[in-house]
Structure 1
Amino acid sequence: MTTTNERHVAERFSVESDRSYSMLIDGAWVQSSSGETFACVDPYDNASWGRVPAATVEDVDRAVRAARRAFDEGGWPQTLPSQRAALLRRFADLLTENADELARGQIHENGKLIGEMTWGALQMGQHAHYVAGLAETIQGRTIESNWPNTAAFTFREPIGVVAMITPWNSPLMLLSWKLFAALAAGNTVVIKPSEATPTSTLRMAELAMEAGFPPGVINVVTGFGQPTGSALVDHRGVDKIAFTGSTSAGRAINKQAAERFARVTLELGGKSPNIIFSDADIDNAVHGAMAGIFGATGQTCMGGSRVLVQDSIYDDFVDRMARATQALTLGDPLDPTVDMGPVSNRAQFQKVIDYVDLGQSEGAEVVAGGARCMTTSELSKGLFFEPTVFANVSNESRLAQEEIFGPVASIIRFRDEDEAVKIANASDFGLAAGVWTNDVSRAHRMIRRVRSGTVWVNTYRLTNYSVPFGGFKQSGIGRELGPDALDAYTEVKSAWIDLGNQQAFGRH
């Protein structure tokens, strides 16, 4: 496995390691009311940097109240759709102009590859332009009433104050999936980014202020799940929670929100099957399976962590995937020649180690990787873990059933189409799936039979702002993206108008 070279060092440390950051509340940049801060960690060198406010319960209350005022008194919901669209378009242009900076900021926080993060940053500008168009097309319906001389129609109103709790693996893209739609519909927001990746969100908020969004419409509080996140979810001034993260955290948020019937959108975990049939192009499927689980260092909710392979090609596929995995290069995520970067944070790094140990104790066979990468001083100082392939995995094992969120693939054998479907659906999750076959009829059957929110055929891990995304079962509630994205941030209101009937009650 190769490593990066010294040409990236100057670029990497151009970020001020001791910079102090501020939160955004009601249009002002502020520190925590307690004065407490915390540091971020660059996973490339496992070094701490920066000072970020640790928001208190009081800070969360200030942010929610600011968002509430902007919604109830500030006139944001009453702005014309064309005005909200114009702001989103200015925001889009600023995001595009600053895409390189936004990409590198996220890499400094989470260690993902420069190619993926640059693509994602550029996509945000296009996405904002797309949603700006949706803002101008929010429509209700005129309904033919069964009552004589009456008219009935519906329209959509913004929900109110939306709390957005976002993850560390793709902090800005996954925030944009929520933020653009919420703003386009006329909501105000309070954002709590992951404590591992707060600074890139703060920079994105700066660009939103530069675009001209009014004070209080967008607020950002930084901190940990306790007390910051919990206070935000519990706040009675919050009308909806939009969360992306683990299923366990989503379950807790859903319970908290249910106490006061707050609306939720939850995009949660996955243990997605990537199903390879014997008639597939095997080399293509190998590369697709590797992209599905080793892309983003496996730290993606849609990761194809269960690789289901038909019995007749199983041994050949395992051998090819093991050899191709061993040839991957690890190193500086700013180096475009690198195949995989570090694990994003210390807690996740330890989780990967623990699950690899668990897999071996359960009897699965490591055919590639399986250890911390210590081949060079560069890799040994960072949070690098070898891309790992397990063979002879039982679908009933914890290795196959629990989300690892790391570069660990479990290869599982199946006999025929029916067994593939049975294994694929034998999971608490249902976020995504891949099918590799040259049989068009089989592809369509599998799309229908596999219980997941997305099914890819002869590809994996494609997303676009025009196509809905979300999961079945414990992978979440609701959908993001696509032409109906604004539905998740609006309430339907029905209206009736009498056209001349005389009202009567009782004997009068």
Structure 2
Amino acid sequence: MSGEQGQRLYIGGEWVEPDGGHYEVVNPADESVVGLAPEASRAQVEEAARAAAEAFGPWSRTRPEERAAILDRAADVIQREFEPWAELAQAETGAPTGIARGMQVGVGVARFRRYAKGALEPVERGLPPQVTEAGPMGAASVLGALEVRQPVGVVTCITSYNNPWANPAGKVAPALAMGNTVVVKPAPQDPLSVFRMAEALAEAGIPPGVVNVVSGQAVEVGEAAVDSPHVDMVSFTGSTGVGQRIAEVCGRSMKRQLMELGGKGAAVVFGDADLDAAVMGIGTTFSFYSGQICTAPTRVIVQRSVYAQLVEKLTGYLAFMKVGDPAVKGTVVGPVISAAHRDRVESYVELGRKEGARIASGGERPVVGEGDRRGKGFYVAPTLLVDCTNDMRVVREEIFGPVVVVVPFDGGEDEAVALANDSDYGLISYVWSGDAARAFRVARRLRAGGVGVNTIGRNMEAPFGGFKRSGVGRDVGSYALHAYSEVQSIVWAG
């Protein structure tokens, strides 16, 4: 709950005043103050982890039907509060109205519904019996076996700033469905929505300690949520660099990990592709979360025969990308999350220019707003960098903004695959071709956790996760239930 002086922490079923006071959550669209977020101390994070550990035993033994009912009731509460909570999400993130409603709060509701059903999925699987000969291990026998999925224990969920509903819900809901308890540490830029999620779960009847939410700007808040001896698993979405540091800490005590990290999605466009469809897909980089999404097709690898045509079409597409206040009807591209991130994205555009890329569109900071609000907000112009080569940093590094780079190639499939795979990342890549056989052939050769063939759409039951430095593990659909479980085998003599 929010008090007169700001948001409280949620620990052990109680709303607790933060030891470190509060800090301002800033609206990236106009730099106004959205609210005051709590700054937890290391001791309070440890208290949250201890509460989760104490709640784990009873919660893990609840009937799946009970867990499902609570998740369903939480979805009901979120749906009831849809309008004000979508407005809050928009204010915290700067997302355009359609994104805040549909892709943030709307997806949050859908994920709680999905894992209410997921709580009822079977967790046991019988294995074929095995006949064993007499030997040192005992007499001859027929051994039966059962695979059982058990909850991991206490899961720390560290969530990203680009979606304070879909990302936390995609961690918390399946973890709870499997019988785990959680400590949620939201991104410091937009944590208030995650506390609304905790309110929904509390109203839905979640037992004390099963869900805990702690926030803060200090590094020690996240560190405490990772290195607590009460934590059994860390589920993290964020940058590869931070993920690597978390993995090092987890390795010391063999904590389980689920990591969804950076991406630099390759979009391979062959000469026979439907270029309009490819442009529509690639163009989502500019409009979807202002490019702050790890699955975006930001690295276009296009066959020389259609290179000029594709660049022309992308440039034309950008002409319709209205940058502005996300609350105003017609806005397509809102701000990025902070002034620091805006400066980072702009520095990459300038770096690209120095490296020899040509700015086909964008590159200048847009001025948004009227009156006293004119010039406020953290806006970046959707930018298209062309004539790029694979050795440029703007091609190799994740920019996480509305910037697309275009690399031409002269050869065939082998060259396209080599360029696409020449990356530290391997989250989601894409192939556009009019030849379905070639598209699927190339897709199987791409070193990426997912590949879209002539689409940027995602099947929300398909496994999601990355190759290489883009992550560890898979979630989404039933795979998320598996991610938040341990496999136990039970063997008996028949």
For the criterion TM > 0.5, the same-fold answer is yes
> 1:81-109: per-residue Cα shift (whole Å, max 9, x none)?
11111111111222222233332211111
More displaced 10-residue stretch of structure 1: 42-51 or 302-311: 42-51
Q: What are the ranges of 5 or more consecutive residues in structure 2 without an aligned counterpart?
A: 133-140
SS in 2 for 1:189: strand
* Other-structure match for 1:25: 11
Does structure 1 residue 81 correspond to structure 2 residue 67? no
Cα-to-partner distance string for 1:331-389 (whole Å, 9 max, x where unaligned): 12123411110111122111111111111111111110002112654562111111000
Question: 1:497 offset after TM fit, Å?
Answer: 2.9
Q: Distance in 2 between matches of 1:379 and 1:372?
A: 13
Q: Deviations for 1:62-97, whole angstroms, at most 9, x for unmatched residues?
A: 10011011013xx11100111111111111222222
Amino acid at match of 2:488: K
Taking the TM superposition and a 5 Å limit, the aligned residue runs for 1:203-282 are: 203-224=196-217, 226-282=219-275
Q: CA shift at 1:134, angstroms?
A: 1.9
Shift of 1:191: 0.2
Question: Who is 1:98 aligned against?
Answer: 81
Query: Does structure 2 conserve the Cα–Cα contact (< 8 Å) formed by 1:17 and 1:49?
Result: no
Matches within 5 A, 1:296-307: 296-307=289-300
Cα distance in 2 for residues equivalent to 1:28 and 1:497? 45
CA contact (8 A) 2:291 2:400 kept: yes
- C-alpha contact 1:331 1:379 (8 A) present in aligned 2: no
2:364 corresponds to: 371
Question: Which residue number corresponds to residue 355 of structure 1?
Answer: 348
Q: Which moved more, 1:47-56 or 1:429-438?
A: 47-56
The reply on whether 1:472 has 2:456 as its aligned counterpart is no
Question: Does the CA contact (< 8 Å) of 2:107 and 2:165 recur in 1?
Answer: no
Structure 2 residue 305 is matched with structure 1 residue 312: yes
Whole-Å Cα distance in 1 between the matches of residues 377 and 418 of structure 2?
A: 40
Partner secondary structure for residue 279 of structure 1: coil
Q: 1:440 to 1:198 in 2, by over 3 A?
A: same
How many residues in Structure 1 have an aligned counterpart in Structure 2? 480
Residue identity matched to 2:163: S
Q: Which of the numbers 453, 459, 464 marks the counterpart of 2:455? A: 459
- Equivalent residue runs for 1:339-350 within 5 Å: 339-350=332-343
| Alignment-mate amino acid for residue 421 of structure 1 | V
Q: Which residue of 2 aligns with 1:163?
A: 156
CA drift of 1:330 comes to: 1.0
Q: Tell me by how many angstroms 1:464 deviates.
A: 4.7
The answer to whether the 8 Å contact 2:292/2:400 transfers is yes
Q: Does residue 137 in structure 1 map to residue 121 in structure 2?
A: yes
Which of 18, 33, 41 does residue 48 from structure 1 map onto? 33
Sort the Cα spacing of 1:478 and 1:18 in 2 relative to 1 into closer, same or farther, 3 A. same
Report deviation, 1:28: 0.6
Q: 2:171 aligned to 165, 178, 195, which one?
A: 178
Match of 1:506 in 2: none
CA contact under 8 A between 2:287 and 2:321: conserved in structure 1? no
Match of 2:137?
none
- Local SS of the residue matching 1:309: strand
Higher mean alpha-carbon deviation, 95-104 vs 228-237, is at: 95-104
Q: What amino acid does structure 2 have at the position aligned with 1:22?
A: R
Query: Per the alignment, do residues 496 and 281 of structure 1 end up closer, same or farther by CA in structure 2, a change over 3 Å counting?
Result: closer
Name the counterpart of 1:425. Answer: 421
TM-score (norm 1): 0.91
CA deviation profile, 1:238-290 (whole Å, cap 9, x unmatched): 00000000000101100110011000000000000112111122222222211
Output the CA distance in 2 between the equivalents of 1:61 and 1:283.
Answer: 53
Distance 1:142 1:280 in 2: 47
Percent of residue pairs identical = 39
State the superposition RMSD in angstroms: 1.8
One-letter amino acid of the counterpart of residue 35, structure 2? G
**Partner deviation per Cα, 1:35-61 (whole Å, 9 max, x = no partner):** x21111101112334221111110101
User: Which amino acid is 1:80 matched to?
Assistant: R
Report the AA paired with residue 57 of structure 1.
R
Are residues 1:411 and 2:396 paired? no
Provide Cα deviations, 1:108-144, integer angstroms capped at 9, x if missing partner: 1111121122112223223222222221123222231
Task: Tell me if structure 2 keeps the 8 A contact 1:293–1:304.
Answer: no
Q: 2:108 aligned to 118, 124, 146, which one?
A: 124
Query: Relative to structure 2, which stretch is displaced further, 85-94 or 58-67?
Result: 85-94
If the length of structure 2 is used for normalisation, what is the TM-score?
A: 0.94
**1:18–1:51 Cα contact (<8 Å) kept:** no
